[in-house]
Amino acid sequence: MATLSPFHLAFPVSSLERARGFYGELLGCPEGRSSPEWIDFDFFGHQIVAHLSPGPAQQTATSAVDGHSVPVRHFGVVLGMDEWAALADKLRRAGTQFIIEPYVRFKGEVGEQATMFFMDPCGNAIEFKAFADRSQLFAR
């Protein structure tokens, strides 16, 4: 597998302090540069930037996947299975309201993966995944 380059994602938030608490404190993402209008976070080796935006971040479009309503606009990262399970436990202990509770899709099949969806406090949908075999990431 080729070495991955970090991605950059900018997204709207209604409160930098809530973003700081969620991404920095709960998810443990180190903070980089910031201004009164935005904050850079190290999102598991990738650069995400929370931009203060007066409009709502939430979107309502969903897509049906495995009997769940998956938010069409979402972002996230693929973790190792143990790291994913530890994060799921941490989020549960923190009282996170899941859009889709942590579970394993395609159990015993090609592309078996663990997934969970939840919202940040500003209405952005996030998905964390893990694969029993990461080489299955793009398997059909």
CATH number at residue 67: 3.10.180.10
- Average pLDDT on 93-107 reads 94
The predicted structure's pLDDT at residue 129 = 96
Q: pLDDT for 14-33, tens place per residue?
A: 999 999 999 999 999 999 99
Tell whether 80 and 136 lie within a shared domain.
yes
How many structural domains compose the chain? 2
The predicted structure's pLDDT at residue 51 = 96
Tell whether 75 and 98 lie within a shared domain.
yes
Q: pLDDT for 29-52, tens place per residue?
A: 999 999 999 999 999 999 999 999
The predicted structure's pLDDT at residue 117 = 95
Name, in order, each residue with C-beta under 8 angstroms of 132's C-beta and a sequence gap of 6 or more. 81, 112, 113
Tell whether 84 and 126 lie within a shared domain.
yes
Percent of the chain at pLDDT above 70?
A: 96
Range of the structural domain that residue 81 is part of: 63-140
Residue-by-residue DSSP string for 20-67: IIIIIIIS-PPEEEE-SSEEEEEETTEEEEEEE-SS------EEEETT
Indicate if the pLDDT at residue 134 is higher than 90: no
